[in-house]
Amino acid sequence: MSRARRTGRRGRPPVTDGALLLRRTPYGESSLVVHVLTRSSGRVELIAKGAHRPKSRFCGVLDWFDTLSLEWTPSRTPGELGTLRTGQLMRRRRGPTRDLGAYRAAQTMIELVDLATRAGAVEQGTFELLERGLDALDRGATSGAGPAPALVLATFELRLLRVLGLEPALERCAVCGEPAPPPDGAQGRAAFSTQAGGRLCPKHAAELHAQGVRVGTLPVDVLERAAELAGGRKSGEKRADPERLLDFAARFLDHHLESRPRSHAHFLAAPDRNRRGAAPTAPPRARPR
Ligand SMILES: [Zn+2]
């Protein structure tokens, strides 16, 4: 084969982009297959040849939670792996490896983004959202201050729902958009249906229930705090503890992704803290995890 022909066949120019690791699988004797979410090129699947060799140029680069800058040659055939050429570390995040709660939260964020982008389509804002979430966990684990991992994760999940266009109705009725006060006798709890898209006014709760749609109730303070976090609004007072927010966000997200990430199981091992009759405030951090 002539040199010109070979160059022609390999003619796709290399791409350089920021990336976060979603999956990493050993391949053959010494290579790695990595799935990454990139800043502007969507989800990309690459082979890092010889990554496991002692003198590999990828040594120490392809680590979890870090922001990378990768250069790769896209595959000629859609669906085939591109070839990673070089990789550089842009931002190391060691925090999550030092704190189990932060580690699990970071792992869950990555698994959720992996699930949400599996089909190939990546909604705008996903990369930035994951990067910010990992930053917050890293800061918290490094400084020992800042919000608990459960709250960081709950906030991430509520914003991911918004990025994916799956945001639940939290303050108004999902059907009519009118205010949705608690129905009679449901002290502090609003009608809510995951299937119907969120909070419901008493009229639509009754109508949907009559049609066989599953309608339950959720504490109003959890829904209000979730709305504040999803919208980036700061609340003056501390209401609705993080575990209950996470229960709510995680169950809603799992329903829509039609899958429960393995790492969510750690957070959802306890019974739903938002079910009727559950203690309004779980003892914080007392539960073994
Ligand atoms: Zn309504």
CA–centroid distance, 211 to ligand 1, in Å, is: 15
Picking from 271, 270, 251, the residue whose alpha carbon sits closest to that of residue 261 is 251
Q: What is the pLDDT of residues 15-56, one digit of tens each?
A: 999 999 999 999 998 999 999 999 999 999 999 999 888 888
Cα–Cα distance between 168 and 199 in angstroms, integer?
Answer: 7
Q: Cα separation of 68 and 71, whole Å?
A: 10
Place of tokens 């160059």: 7
Of 276, 289, 200, give the one whose Cα is nearest residue 243: 289
Judge residue 278's burial from the number of C-beta atoms within 10 Å of its C-beta, 0-12 exposed, 13-18 middle, 19 or more buried. middle
Residue 278 Cα to ligand 1 midpoint, Å, equals 27
Separation of 184 CA from ligand 1 center, angstroms? 15
Distance 29 CA to ligand 1 centre (A): 60
Cα maximum dimension of the chain: 82
Measured CA to CA, the distance from residue 128 to residue 119 in angstroms comes to 19
Give the Å distance between the CA of 153 and the centre of ligand 1: 30
Structural domains present in the chain: 3-91 (2.40.50.140)
Residue 43 near residue 117, CB atoms below 8 Å: yes
Least confident of 20-34, 146-160, 162-176, 235-249: 235-249
Q: Which residues lie at CB < 5 A from ion ligand 1?
A: 173, 175-176, 201, 204
pLDDT for residue 259: 66
Query: What is the 192 CA–ligand 1 centroid distance (Å)?
Result: 11
What is the per-residue pLDDT for 183? 75
Determine the pLDDT at residue 147: 86
**Sequence letter at residue 66:** D
pTM value is 0.85
Task: Report the separation in Å between the CA atom of 182 and the middle of ligand 1, taken as the mean of its atom positions.
Answer: 12
Sheet with 198-200: strands ordered across: 198-200, 189-193, 216-219
Question: What would the pLDDT profile of 119-151 be if each residue is shown by its tens digit?
Answer: 778 999 999 999 999 999 999 999 988 889 999
φ/ψ bin of 11: left (φ > 0), alpha (ψ from -120 to 50), beta (otherwise): alpha
Q: What is the Å distance from ligand 1's center to 137 Cα?
A: 38
CA of 222 to the centre of ligand 1 (A): 19
Ligand 1 centroid to residue 205 C-alpha, Å:
7
Q: What is the CA radius of gyration of the chain?
A: 22
- To the nearest whole number, what is the mean pLDDT of the chain? 86
Centre of ligand 1 to C-alpha 72, Å, is: 51
8-state DSSP, 96: G
Q: How far is the CA of 131 from the centre of ligand 1 (A)?
A: 37
Nearest-angstrom CA–CA distance, 108 and 259: 12
